[in-house]
Structure 1
Amino acid sequence: MDELVDILDESGAHTGKSCLKSEAHLKGLFHPTAHIWFYTSDGKILFQKRGKDKKTFPLLWDVSVAGHIGAGEDIIEAAIREIEEEINLQISLSDLDKIGVFKSIQKHSETLLDKEFHHTFLCKLKVPLSALSKQESEVEDLALFQLVDFKSKLNSGELEGFVPHLPSYYHKIITELELRT
């Protein structure tokens, strides 16, 4: 879905401009996204397998929930909206724990340069996996992975099948999750 997004500068500050997401990707303009990582009290992380029709990284395992923040949209409201859309789960503001904003640049093709600032949150998963329902157009599958197994894969450089986020990003997620589980 093409939507209006706010345009950010190289440091993540708002420029006061907005454009369609497709234009931001075509021109390589920075824009904000929300990333929400769900975890369980017994040390598991929820991953989503991206939909087969996604333009970027189809059928790779990725952050539990992620999406673009609409132009003028509050970051927290965008995160809550994305969670409801992608996994049909309702949470409250107090469930979200913001751990940082991460700059990401991914060149997928000559016409798709993704330059984003990921506003990243952790959220404890308080329902069983079976209670979640995936958004068919966005999410192919949902699965819980043991944090220790994912950390081992990351440390050994064996992340085949996962979206190639920067190792520093994944390490930050793991560090923050280890503090909570």
Structure 2
Amino acid sequence: MPADKLEEWWDIYDQAEHKIGQRQRSETLRTGEYHLVANIFLFNQVGEVLLQQRSFDKLNYPGAWDCSVGGSVLAGETPQDTMVREVQEELGLTITQEQLQLFDHQIASTWIEYWFVAQLDFKLSDVTVQTEEVAQVGFFNLSQAQKQLAPVGGIKYEHEVQLAWQTKLG
């Protein structure tokens, strides 16, 4: 059974990010309609980035290595709200909106992505993965992270992890 929640409700936006309605995730978006997505790269105190391997039950890119956490912004949420919720749900870690630093914002085919970075004082033993969403997690240096995020035909976030690294660690 897929881990994705097709009954979720999303606020729908035009390309200028004006809210124009709502849809359930299971409904197809029309041309010119977008939903919001929020992603984050979490760094530990020694400068390693946490990556997650997506659950093998996910509809999109099952088993692919991904950013620390990512998720669709639910109806009524801000991208920052989503990050606080998703970090808690998927990793069992607590983060505040004040710890989030926006480093990129881009429009894709049917979604608008917000990219955040944060540095937390945590170890792998502090992480409790939501097994429906996450297969495993690990800490990586920049070159290792870029290799993990460059699968053939999968999610390719090598550029975003480089931007996050530059933003957070200089």
2:127 corresponds to 1:123: no
Residue in 1 aligned with 2:140? Answer: 145
Aligned to 2:156, the other structure's residue is in SS state coil
- Supply the AA of the counterpart residue of 2:115: T
TM-score computed with the length of structure 2 as normaliser: 0.84
How many residues of Structure 1 are paired with residues of Structure 2 in the alignment? Answer: 164
Other-structure match for 1:164: 155
Q: Does 1:71 align with 2:62?
A: no
The 1:135–1:161 alpha-carbon spacing in structure 2 relative to 1, beyond 3 Å, is farther
1:53 aligns with 2:44: no
The within-5 A match list for 1:1-181 is 1=5, 2-11=7-16, 13-24=17-28, 27=30, 29-105=33-109, 115-151=110-146, 153=147, 159-160=150-151, 163-165=154-156, 168-179=159-170
Q: Partners in 1 of 2:90 and 2:126 — Cα distance?
A: 13
CA distance, structure 1, for counterparts of residue 136 and residue 157 of structure 2: 23
Q: Secondary structure at the match of 1:22?
A: coil
The whole-number CA distance in structure 2 between the counterparts of 1:67 and 1:135 is 13
Gap runs ≥5 in structure 1: 106-114
**Stretches of 4+ aligned residues off by more than 4 angstroms:** none
2: CA distance between counterparts of 1:133 and 1:167?
Answer: 25
As a proportion of its length, which structure holds more strand? 1
| Alpha-carbon distance change, 85 to 166 in structure 1, aligned in 2, over 3 angstroms | closer
Q: What residue number does 1:108 align with?
A: none
State the 1:65 CA deviation: 0.6
Where structure 2 has 5 or more consecutive residues not aligned to the other structure, the ranges are none
Deviation of 1:102 after TM superposition, in Å, equals 2.0
What is the Cα deviation at residue 122 of structure 1? 0.6
Q: What secondary structure is seen at the aligned counterpart in 1 of 2:51? A: strand
SS at match of 2:27: helix
**Cα offset, 1:16, TM superposition:** 2.4
Relative to the length of structure 1, the TM-score reads: 0.79
Over the matched positions of the two proteins, sequence identity in percent amounts to 26
CA shift, 1:92, in A, is 1.8
The Cα shift of 1:32 comes to 0.2
Deviation (angstroms), 1:165: 3.1
User: Deviation string for 1:128-149 (max 9, x for gaps)?
Assistant: 1111000011001111111133
How far residue 100 of structure 1 moved from its aligned partner, in angstroms, is: 2.6
